[in-house]
Amino acid sequence: MTPDPFDFRKPPPGVLEWQTAEWLAEAARLASLTWAKLLTFQAEPLAGGVVPTTAGDGLTTLPTNALGFPVANEDESDDGFLLAVPRPLVLTLLAGLMNEVVTGLVPDRDLTALESSLCGFLTRELFLKPMTAAWPLDDPPRWAAGAGGQPRNVWRLPAADPAVLATFVVNTPFGELPFHLLFMRSERLLRLADPPPMKASPLVPAERQHIESLVREMAVDVDVTLGTAELTLYDLAKLQSGDVLMLRQKVSDPLTASVAGTPKFRVWPGAVGGRQAVQIHAPAEAA
């Protein structure tokens, strides 16, 4: 059975994950600036994949030596996530924060009382502040991290609850080290997939009428690029009806719409009745 075309009544599959990944990529960029100032060694966090999961499956994905920090929002009881960092990475970051000379990954061991007392500063400055600064909507969260522990002991969501798992990699002179964020699908997170419309400046009636009369007479071309592929001239000459080309375009990512040859919007493809259509997702520069 052929599935019905998307009719814009709900966000396309993957929109929440795509928007979360965009936010976290900006958070990682801001974090790298902060880490460069606070640590005694070079470390750059890079955002990786964001996938839907459940609370139980997400916990299973975490490394066995992960130290979990439950993060809650002071404003909303259902808005929180688990920050899961391998204990050797926690120890190495703490050493860098305490101005120690770090020449390699600190071996895995239990944290001392002093190191445990510094975890609140570590989570706030290295992780939560960049995430808050990068939040794309006008309701920045007020997150605070609790005491660290075994992820299953500090994160007690029902195993079947839907969640979103984000993976990061920290580039250091002594290797790549992963850490994870396991989000509950809170109302705040879901707002990323359905942001409020941009507010337009009000126009007086005379200005609006004049602008509308001008716009009605303007003819512009709007082109939507479904994807691109790279071929040699030899391969191009051999193409026949029925051949399949793999495009460099993920189905979970919006397409680029150009106006008069200039990229202007990111759009989702779909249909209205029997006609093909697109829904504007965001300005091209904001994608």
Q: Are residues 226 and 103 in the same domain?
A: no
Nearest to 14 by CA among 281, 285, 258, 286: 281
Give, as one character, the DSSP assignment of residue 170. Answer: E
Residues 19 and 74 in one domain: yes
Same domain? 20 vs 71: yes
116 and 166 within one domain: yes
Regarding whether 152 and 267 lie in a shared domain, the answer is no
Give the chain's domain count: 2
Q: What is the DSSP letter of 149?
A: B
Same structural domain, 138 and 172 = yes
Alpha carbons 130 and 62: distance in angstroms, whole number: 22
Residue 10 belongs to a domain: no
Contact 93, 115 (CB under 8 A): no
80 and 125 within one domain:
yes
Q: Is residue 24 part of a domain?
A: yes
The whole domain housing 26 covers 15-193
Separation between Cα atoms, residue 65 and residue 284, nearest integer Å: 41
Residue whose structure tokens are 């939507």: 224
Q: Measured between alpha carbons, how far is 287 from 187 in angstroms, rounded to an integer?
A: 22
3-state secondary structure of 48: strand
Q: Tell me how far apart the alpha carbons of residues 121 and 58 are, in angstroms, rounded to a whole number.
A: 26
Q: How far apart are CA 124 and CA 144, in angstroms?
A: 7
Core vs surface per residue 143-162: b (16+ CB within 10 A) or e:
bebbebeebeebbebeeeee
User: Residue 272's domain is classified under what CATH number?
Assistant: 2.30.330.10
CATH number of the domain where residue 94 is located: 3.40.1550.10
User: E strands of the chain, at which residues?
Assistant: 44-54, 66-73, 80-86, 143-145, 162-172, 175-184, 222-225, 255-259, 262-272, 275-283
Asked whether 17 and 122 are in contact (CB, 8 A), the reply is: no
The pLDDT averaged over each successive group of 10 residues in the chain (287 residues) is 45 75 95 96 94 94 95 80 96 95 94 95 96 91 93 91 95 93 90 66 67 72 82 84 80 80 82 76 70
Query: Rounded distance, CA 198 to CA 281, Å?
Result: 12
Which among 256, 259, 237 has a CA at the least distance from the CA of 247?
Answer: 256
Same domain, 147 and 43: yes
Q: pTM for the whole thing?
A: 0.67
How many other C-beta atoms lie within 10 A of the C-beta of residue 121?
A: 12
Sheet holding 80-86, edge to edge: 44-54, 162-172, 175-184, 80-86, 66-73, 143-145
